[in-house]
Amino acid sequence: MIISVSRKTDIPAFYADWFFNRLKAGFVLYKNPFNANLVHRVELTPEHVDAFVFWTRNPKPFMERLDLLEPYIYYFQYTITGYPRYLEKSTPNPNIAIETFKELSQKIGKERVIWRYDPILLSNTLTIDEHKRLFTKIAGLLKGYTQRVVISFADFYAKTERNLNKVQIPIRAENPEPQNFEFFNILDKEFEEDLKDLVSFMMKTAQENEMEIETCAEEVDLKKRYGINIEHGKCIDNELLEKIAHSKGFSSKKDKGQRQECGCVESRDIGIYDTCVHGCQYCYATTKHDKATENKKLHNPDSPFLLGDFPESYTQEQRKEKLKNNSTNSSNKQEQPSLFDLLND
């Protein structure tokens, strides 16, 4: 089983202690999002996990504990956009994020750190020229530290439109007049030439910086429409995992739980929506920043759950059943704690 950590929140940035505690325990519990009285268990021991795929804007809390991941196959999806603070309230400073990216790449290899420039949000401040400037600058600084960049275009769900409509552009000395934030869907027909211009530029820039470029969960076929070499990607990628593992055998079966345009292979996600506190106004995984902040207060790094505890309806016997050690490989059981023992020495 491939474990996604996580499309729904930034576990490396905000819940690293919890993740490594669960790795030591060998399992994680989560509640069914449609029925909180149903508790599911996911085994995290090396004999049960085919690979981890981490999604993050800040893997810094993982950096000193990467040795604990040595029994596993894994890679990182690492987002850096450089958008203004009124859109990304609490993300790391782009210069710091780039240095952390480089450090991670040097530790684990550039094939295991994928740069994400997404979602591409077109607005009166994030113009085509501004996206070109940001993409060029970041790509140049990451040259030699990654082999792939992933792009996608902002999706305008009701909650994302609501959050974006509340964005206030700060008044600055160089721009003393109040300015409203206006956003647009770059996939609309009226922006056809802008889209072609931007993605053609990004493809060329990626190639110049020794990166392949792919899209994430996009219906639009850029290669077919414009004749440029940008393929549909799959963020949970069996072929990349086989390359990292130096072995075949990862399933290519599409994840039916994802939307049709998503190319990811099957995985189990252990995150929860409305728990990421980066404050990105365009995020599909967060309804409101205040809600995520309140939810985070329910987090206990020693709990088997990312948030909260067992439902009150659970008996002691039911709890014990979910918490029992299900590992069947005694040699791995001995090896895994020894890694954590080293950390505690």
Spell out the domain ranges in the chain: 2-344
29, 272 contact by CB (below 8 A):
no
Q: How far apart are CA 236 and CA 54, in angstroms?
A: 10
What pLDDT was estimated at residue 132? 98
Separate counts of helices (H) and strands (E) for the chain:
11, 12
94 in Cβ contact with 138 (< 8 Å): yes
Predicted TM-score (pTM) above 0.95: no
Strand partners, 4: 53, 269
Instruction: Mark residue 316 as left, alpha or beta (left: phi above 0; alpha: psi -120 to 50; beta: remaining).
Output: alpha
What is the chain's pLDDT, residue by residue, as a tens digit (345 residues)? 999 999 999 999 999 999 999 999 999 999 988 888 889 999 999 999 999 999 999 999 999 999 999 999 999 999 999 999 999 999 999 999 999 999 999 999 999 999 999 999 999 999 999 999 999 999 999 999 999 999 999 999 999 999 999 999 998 766 677 788 999 999 999 999 999 999 999 999 999 999 999 999 999 999 999 999 999 999 999 999 999 999 998 999 999 999 989 999 999 999 999 999 999 999 999 999 999 999 999 999 999 999 988 888 888 988 888 888 664 433 333 333 333 332 333
Per-residue model confidence (pLDDT) at position 179:
82
Name residues whose C-beta falls within 8 Å of residue 293's C-beta, 6 or more positions apart in sequence.
Answer: 277
